Amino acid sequence: MSEKRTAAYRLSTTIFIVLLVLTVIEYYAGLYFPSTIILLLLALFKAIAVVNYYMHISRLWSQEGGH
């Protein structure tokens, strides 16, 4: 069980770091490249990561749970 927990913590930390890096890139892209399309794409990548990994939306269509 602790192996599963360690893997989950590692995945959550990795996603957190990815979101942090994307936020920093988004900040500098907003300063130096005032393009709405670039900012929307970065925001879309961040939204996909949050929905997939923190909101567990992929579990809605899986057969393993009771909900």
> How many CA atoms lie within 13 Å of 36's alpha carbon, on the beta-carbon side?
0
> pLDDT digit string (tens) for 16-40?
999 999 999 999 999 998 889 999 9
Contact 6, 15 (CB under 8 A): no
Residue 40's pLDDT is what? Answer: 94
Residue 7's pLDDT is what? Answer: 87
pTM for the model: 0.75
Taking 70 as the threshold, does the pLDDT of residue 53 lie above it? yes
Dist CA 53 CA 56 (whole Å):
5
List C-alpha distances in Å: 19 to 4, 5, 23, 24, 25. 23, 21, 6, 9, 10
Dist CA 49 CA 64 (whole Å):
22
